[in-house]
Amino acid sequence: MAKKLANIIIKPEAIIELTEALAGVRGDSKSGSWASAGVVMHAACAAERRLDAAGVPLKARVNCGYEFTEAGPTANAYRFKKAVPTFTLIRRPSGWSVVKYGQVEAYPKAKAVDRVVLHADARHAVVEAALRPFRIAA
């Protein structure tokens, strides 16, 4: 039996488990596009790099999130909404895991969502890292 999607820690060794769990969520759906396990794994790695670049220490990354929704159709002539992939990841102490996975309806020219969500400790770490090169006068 496949593991519950939220219990799978995203890492290269778990790609088969992740693929099976995502396939279980998709079921027999043929409509729209779905994010593959490779896309989800790449997003988790990219989110980790973004937190690292922002100066967030490992301890403060726990409970940070990552949200992704693909952009809507780009053609001006396309007048209908389209099912696009969406997923949300959360950083646990042992790594990233998927907490939401599915599709949403996106209208033409709808913007993509690609953002890291910080909690309070991580936000303070980002501000501290940004101000580190400066001397704050009293």
Separation between Cα atoms, residue 40 and residue 53, nearest integer Å: 20
pTM, whole model, 2 decimals? 0.84
pLDDT of residue 136: 74
Between residues 32 and 87, which one has the greater pLDDT?
87
- pLDDT tens digits, one per residue of 53-107: 988 889 999 999 999 999 988 766 667 888 899 999 999 999 999 999 999 998 8
Per-residue pLDDT averaged across 33-55, rounded? 93
pLDDT value at 31 more than 80 = no
Average pLDDT, the chain: 88
Between residues 78 and 125, which one has the greater pLDDT?
125
Per-residue pLDDT averaged across 111-125, rounded? 90
- Among the ranges given (5-9, 27-31, 33-37, 62-66), the one the predictor scored with the smallest mean pLDDT: 27-31
pLDDT of residue 5: 85
Q: Token pair for residue 25?
A: 């969520």
DSSP 76-127: TT--S-EEEEEEEEEEETTEEEEEEEEEEEE-TTPPPEEEEE--HHHHHHHH
pLDDT of residue 3: 64
